Structure 1
Amino acid sequence: MPKDHGIGASSKRREDLRFLTGRGRYTDDINLMGQAYVHFLRSDMAHGKINGIDTTEAEKMPGVIRIFTGKDFEGVGGLPCGWQVTDRHGNPMQEPPHPILAQGKVRHVGDPICAVVAESAAQARSAAEAIELDIEELPAVIDMKAAVQDGAPKVHDELDSNLCYDWGFVEENKDAVTKAFDEAAHVTTLELVNQRLAPNAMEPRVAVGDYAPGTDESTLYTTSQNPHVIRLLMGAFVLGIPEHKLRVVAPDVGGGFGSKIFHYAEEAFCTFAAKALQRPVKWTASRSEAFISDAQGRDHVTRIELALDADNNFTALRTETYANMGAYLSTFAPSVPTWLHGTLMAGNYKTPLIYVNVKAVFTNTVPVDAYRGAGRPEATFQLERVIDKAARELGVDPVELRRQNFVTEFPYATPVAVEYDTGDYHATMDKLMEMIDRDGFEARAEESKKRGKLRGLGINSYIEACGIAPSALVGQLGARAGLYESATVRVNATGGLVVMTGSHSHGQGHETSFAQVVADMIGIDEGMVEIVHGDTANTPMGMGTYGSRSLAVGGSAMVRATEKIIAKAKKIAAHLMEAAEGDIELKDGEFTVAGTDKSVAWGDVTLAAYVPHNYPLEEIEPGLEETAFYDPNNFTYPAGAYACEVEVDPDTGKVEILSFAAADDFGNIVNPMIVDGQVHGGLAQGIGQALLENCAYDEDGQLLSASYMDYAMPRADDVPFYAVDHSCQTPCTHNPLGVKGCGEAGAIGSPPAVVNAVVDALHRGGHTHVMHIDMPLTPHRVWQAMHQA
């Protein structure tokens, strides 16, 4: 029977009351006395030399306070990159500067050139239109393979080339992998594109800078997934502000999907300008700005090869990927196609030899960084598509080919440097088969055929690595920050708790699920627990929320801090009941002495901590507040199996998704309803990538899909009602909650399921020459694939 409270209960999201009634407090809701507004004049060309900027007329326009250019930031640090990758030859990556405002050149459409600060947003925008620019257009380089050819235009003149790094992993495997391919009974090769995506969070980015002259303190209000990291990067590396003089506040944030992890130029500018002008400065992005200034995602071109022996066992895998960095290195961009991608190329399978090569390339496009899944969707798509193609070439069941090669013994050390602690991939596949009625598919396909449609079934498995850790390891891999999490638990005299976390919520339901964890440990009502996040002045140093780390890392820090609270409370209870500390038990908010009827309520113990009239002051200090930092010793490894059924209209190429099933193993579940919602959202984004979404640039670097007129977001009628199950649970062995993470799974497992289904439909319709179609599978692409020679 479902639980009605605590861990495992589908408690309603408490934060939804304010969100659904319009009472949330987002960054754009923050308006400070004396506030000025900034408008950024952005480049309308992808590559150009700045010969001159004339602001004379603009400065005379009504309301203009000051116009800033790149010259105002000479001597100011550029935006830092938070991860350094070393290439396969042992050399550090090429790392060009990233100025707050363009200096000398513009390098992508949307690169900020000038910032106009005025009394109103409209006045700032009008003045920006009056600025005269003398920019000499230069040849743009957009195609990654062309960008690394001799003689290609350089995005950064000071670099040797447009190649950021040439990474090989695991380099020691390379010769053995080559030998395995030479000896293979069968080799399947596939070339594919994982197209570029725009993140499109519901709330565009906003920044409000404020400065207090009396205390020399700066405050930044911003739409961020990790305010402490922004404070560290901006304070230490960009503006030179001591951390104790810099506060970063991320209030309610309407979605992020990775795009709000990073430190952006607009945040640094508003903080800098507020001090320079001695008044608050605010910027709110338009949706059009978001398309050319938010870090975009994916954008890989890959050749993948799978070697099999005569019994269809996987013997080796190798890939070569070109990964687009865009014009600059965003905060964590170098890690995405390497350590967040290469380490997942084993998938759910016991392939003994793997070699991954990644060439990261600078182009005259918007910077690229982590987007929901960050490297794991790219790895899963490559792997699950090549396995499906291999099954088709060999004439074997794609499910059975996967089953035959599943990892079955745990812990399992992969050849790409990670160790899966738990999992049961057969169990999730078994559950999926129950959910989809595979035996009845042929009858459904025949019914579709009578209506002139082609029906297909696509199945795949996935695994991901969440809660990236530990800090010591990722430091060796190039991370320039720790990846722990923190929590402070403060108990009030009357028994209520305030939990301050370094994690950040931007739609995940932390205020509900975190409270469930702490309340369950003590045995009190969830309403007695308040969760505080998003303000560096009120929370311990933490790394924020991304990579499905919230419960596995942030929740574990809360557990450790709460354990300290309970341990101290037991000492107090033992004193109050004149019993041995070791005999004290806590259950349902009451302390008891084992084997007796003696008891004392949680509230009585907390009151004693703050009103210590009957208290062992010589042994225990008053108060009840504890802090813990948690640094995991491994990733967590959610896994699952997904199935998609589609119909394809052979006359138009239009794809309709009829059903989608997801069987996931997330370890222990804190709130099933929230988990369902996270999976649903991820599936919608994955289906959007598979069928609809694409950031398209022309050869001059103009973004052709720069608005919702051209960028096709999934709508309600593009997705089906999902069948979602997470009953297959193999708890994580190395965090106290046994949780694995669920926020990105849907976006990782769904794209290959959709593409596998469409290819299956075409084969069933006689189009056996179609072995792959690159995403998005628009009607035009599908129709074209059917009719190509």
Structure 2
Amino acid sequence: MAGRVFGQSIPRNEDPYLLTGQAKFIDDIELPGMLHAAFYRSDYAHARIKKIDVSEARKLPGVVAVYTAEDFGEFVRPGPLQVPPPTAIKGSVFHARPLMPIAKDKVRYSGEPLAVIIAESRYIAEDAMDYIVADLEPLPAVTDLEKALEPGAPLVHEDLESNLAALVKQERGNYEEAAAKADVVIKKRIVVDRGAGAAMENRGIVINWDDRAREMTIWATTQAPIPLRNSIAGRLGLFEEQVRVITPFIGGGFGPKIMTSQPDDVLLPIIAMWLKRPIKWIEDRRENFLGTTSERDQIHYAEIALTKDGIILGVKDVFYHNTGAYDPYGMTVPLNTQTHTVSCYEVPNFYTEIRMVFTNEYVVTPVRGAGRPEGVFVMERLMDYAAQELGMDPAEIRRRNLLRKERFPYPTGIIGQDFVEGVLDSGDYPETLRRVMDVIEYEKFRKEIQPQLRAQGKHKGIGIVCFTEGTAVGPYEGARVTVGANGKVTVATGISTQGQGHFTVFAQIAAEQLGVDVKDVKVVTGDTGHFHWGAGTFASRGMGVAGTAVYNASVKVRKKALEFGARFLGVSEDEVELCDGKVCVKGDPSRSMPLGEIALKANPTRGTI
């Protein structure tokens, strides 16, 4: 049965719902008596809050309530760090400034919420913003990464001596000695501009508090439904079982939807309990650019030292990382940059230094790569500069420096976001490069096609990039596989889906092991009412971690099915096999028992009524 369904190209289970418009997204959810929220945001990047007058906004017909930081009392406090600081890295400095859900006393970035309006419609809520009067005293804004650390620069957080959020130095070997021996040393300033994700559906949340049952149901565009449930329950003083988080189709995640301490998920559940009515908030596109987390924005002072034959002796990279006004995700992004810079090359001497900086810009957290692309970009630009300086082909200089397979396992000497030293354990990098070059006919392009095109005045190039990526990070995921009395299979996992095809690939894994049709496997993701523990969907861990959990659970169910099936059929276990949703006697498929019947006989108390 190996390969019968898993890995095959088949119609996706979820597509009939998506393509016919039947799939449910957050904004499709409508509840009786539902109210709508809007956030009044600061136009200033840095300002002292003198007074916020919401009295006229409260009088507008259709407005139910307007809240500022003063109304939330003890709930206005920094949220927890999503990831702890790098305590395992000797000599590191880290100043934790988790995200504030709403501005109090001072605004630190343009787009930071100053008030929350609750109204009968989003239209009315946005109208009410025109009646809010915010008396703000503008302060000099910190936007230049390097000047932010100069003496006398305005402070984003006045309780700190400077805008330095973190400092981490790591070294393997001795770069300065390597550079002194090098034939060529190339130094470059490399800028990586800020970028943001733009999902088809922006962030959103719907909260329904049942005051009699003392239960809260939340529909959210989250990549981490279980951590979000735990976070909300903790803030509200509820048992985790009192809060159910459901993540339907959400139209893309990309990283910003991992966060569990943003204004919507901190403040709106509290308001829903106060008002005892459902509340919906959907982020519009302008809000997405103002208030949602972003990434990149680094300045690198990078060096590479080589022999005249293009062999790398060492690399040095000192870089500034803009974390924005807060650092709720710890150092995940710059640490990923640090650990992915030298990537798959043999670099005997490597010095790397992070200078993470607070600025009056919106907050930086993982977005599509979580710091990895920045490190790869720096290293690959250095390789291109080196090839140009030495008159070598860009592919050839990479081939000479790629790690050879006999070097594995290869400790990198650099501690990453999981606070352990990275180890490259397998692969054949030079052979991979050779195969790619053959497929794209690299030599033919460089030696024949490119000169012909340039003779015609057409300048066409070709780029080569080599890198390894750390993905499928822990700590864990789980899965539950259940066979119903009718033989259909349900797979439940704690991660959420954002369009990766989980409903099909997880079904393929289970179907492969249980010998059933993929269409007879229902996959439930992102619902804490069905599965209670897990970390979430990020870092390309869906198949690597959650998929493995589905596989392991399916193997256990398969073993049980064969064990009970053999017993009920009166034969030994080695005489049966799975076939088309049944346990069959080998060589005599007429002697069989459907999986559903086995499940019912194995647990007769479940009943069929």
TM-score, normalised with respect to structure 2: 0.93
Cα 1:92–1:396, aligned 2, differ >3 Å: closer, same or farther? closer
Q: 2:543 aligns with which of 531, 551, 554?
A: 551
Within 5 A, what are the aligned runs for 1:556-575? 556-575=548-567
CA distance in 2, matches of 1:240, 1:29: 29
Question: Is 1:261 aligned to 2:258, yes or no?
Answer: yes
Task: Check the 8 A contact 2:92/2:168 in 1, yes or no.
Answer: no
The 8 Å contact of residues 565 and 598 in structure 2, kept in 1 or not, is answered as no
Which deviates more from structure 2 when the two are superposed, residues 340-349 or residues 493-502? 340-349
> 1:309 and 2:310 equivalent?
no
Superposition deviation, residue 210 in structure 1: 1.5
CA change 1:456–1:605 in 2 (3 A) is closer
Shift of 1:239: 3.4
SS for the counterpart of 1:221 is: strand
Rounded Cα–Cα distance in structure 1 between residues aligned with 2:466 and 2:131:
55
Q: Distance in 2 between matches of 1:60 and 1:203?
A: 32
Give the whole-Å Cα distance in 2 for the aligned partners of 1:623 and 1:311.
73
Matched, 1:525 2:517: yes
Conserved in 1, the CA contact under 8 Å of 2:511 and 2:518?
Answer: yes
2:418 is aligned to none
Report the alpha carbon displacement of residue 496 of structure 1 after superposing the two structures with TM.
Answer: 1.1
**Distance 1:606-1:162 versus aligned 2 partners, 3 A rule:** same
The answer (yes or no) to whether the contact 1:4–1:11 under 8 Å persists in 2 is: no
Paired residues, what number? Answer: 594
CA distance in 2, matches of 1:622, 1:323: 60
- Post-superposition offset of 1:315: 2.3
User: By how many angstroms is 1:65 displaced?
Assistant: 0.9
Q: CA deviation at 1:207?
A: 1.3
Q: Partner of 2:487 in structure 1?
A: 495
Matching residue of 2:195: 197
- Is residue 434 from structure 1 mapped to residue 438 from structure 2 by the alignment? yes
Q: Distance in 1 between matches of 2:344 and 2:18?
A: 39
C-alpha offsets along residues 463-506 of structure 1, whole Å, 9 cap, x if unaligned? 1011113xxxxxxxxxxxxx201101111122210000112110
For the 8 Å contact 1:349–1:407, the answer to whether it is kept is yes
Residue 20 of structure 1 aligns with an amino acid whose one-letter code is L
Find the counterpart in structure 1 of residue 527 from structure 2: 535
2:83 maps to which residue?
A: 83
The CA deviation at 1:585 is 4.0
1:611 is paired with a residue whose SS is helix
- The corresponding residue for 1:227 is 225
Alpha carbons 1:327, 1:364 under 8 Å: kept: yes
Q: Which moved more, 1:414-423 or 1:503-512?
A: 414-423
Tell me the equivalent position of 1:281.
279
Change (3 A) 1:427 1:8: farther
Choose the corresponding residue for 2:600, options 593, 610, 617. 610
Give per-residue Cα distances to partners, 1:300-354, cap 9 Å, x unaligned.
1112222223543222222111111111123x2521111x232223311122232
On the 8 A contact 2:561/2:583 being kept in 1, the answer is: no
Encode CA deviations 1:683-737: one digit per residue, 9 max, x unaligned. xxxxxxxxxxxxxxxxxxxxxxxxxxxxxxxxxxxxxxxxxxxxxxxxxxxxxxx
Q: Secondary structure at the match of 2:464?
A: strand
Report which stretch shifted further, 18-27 or 109-118: 18-27
1:600–1:298 Cα change, 3 Å: farther
Q: Give the Cα separation in 1 of the matches to 2:268 and 2:343.
A: 43
The answer to whether the 8 A contact 1:102-1:111 is kept is yes
Structure 2 alignment gaps of length 5 or more: 415-420
Shift of 1:431: 2.5
Q: How does 1:676-695 map to 2 (within 5 A)?
A: none
Deviation at 1:538, TM superposition (A): 1.5
Contact 1:467–1:553 (CA under 8 A) maintained in structure 2: yes
Q: How big is the shift at 1:540? A: 3.1
Report the residue type matching 1:126 in the other structure. Answer: D
Q: Partner of 2:74: helix, strand, or coil? A: coil
Distance 1:500 1:382 in 2: 41
Does structure 1 residue 577 correspond to structure 2 residue 569? Answer: yes
Q: Output the CA distance in 1 between the equivalents of 2:572 and 2:4.
A: 31
1:451 positional shift: 4.8
Identify the residue that residue 364 of structure 2 maps to in structure 1. Answer: 368
The equivalent residue for 1:378 is: 374
Answer whether contact 1:235 1:241 (CA < 8 A) is retained: yes
Confirm or deny: 8 A CA contact 2:91 2:168 kept in the other structure: no
Deviation at 1:178, TM superposition (A): 2.4
1:211 partner SS: strand
- Work out whether residues 85 and 165 of structure 1, in 8 Å CA contact, stay in contact via their aligned partners in 2: no
Aligned equivalents of 1:4, 1:581: Cα separation in 2: 23
TM score, norm. by length of structure 1: 0.72
Q: Which runs of 5+ in 1 are unaligned?
A: 470-482, 625-789
Query: 1:152 Cα shift?
Result: 0.9
CA distance change for structure 1 residues 600 and 137 in 2, over 3 Å: closer, same or farther?
Answer: farther
Q: State how far apart, in whole Å, the 1-side matches of 2:546 and 2:290 are.
A: 32
Deviation larger for 573-582 or 33-42: 573-582
Q: Are 2:473 and 1:468 aligned?
A: yes
Q: Is the 8 A contact 2:314 2:348 kept in 1?
A: yes
Please give the alpha-carbon distance, in whole angstroms, between the structure 2 residues aligned to 1:91 and 1:419.
21
Could you say if the C-alpha distance between residues 334 and 415 of structure 1 is closer, same or farther in structure 2, counting changes exceeding 3 Å? closer
Displacement of 1:564: 1.1
Corresponding position of 2:409: 411
Tell me the residue number matched to 1:485.
477
Could you say which residue in structure 1 is the equivalent of 2:427?
423
Task: Confirm or deny: 8 A CA contact 1:353 1:415 kept in the other structure.
Answer: no
The Cα of 1:593 is off from its aligned counterpart by: 5.6
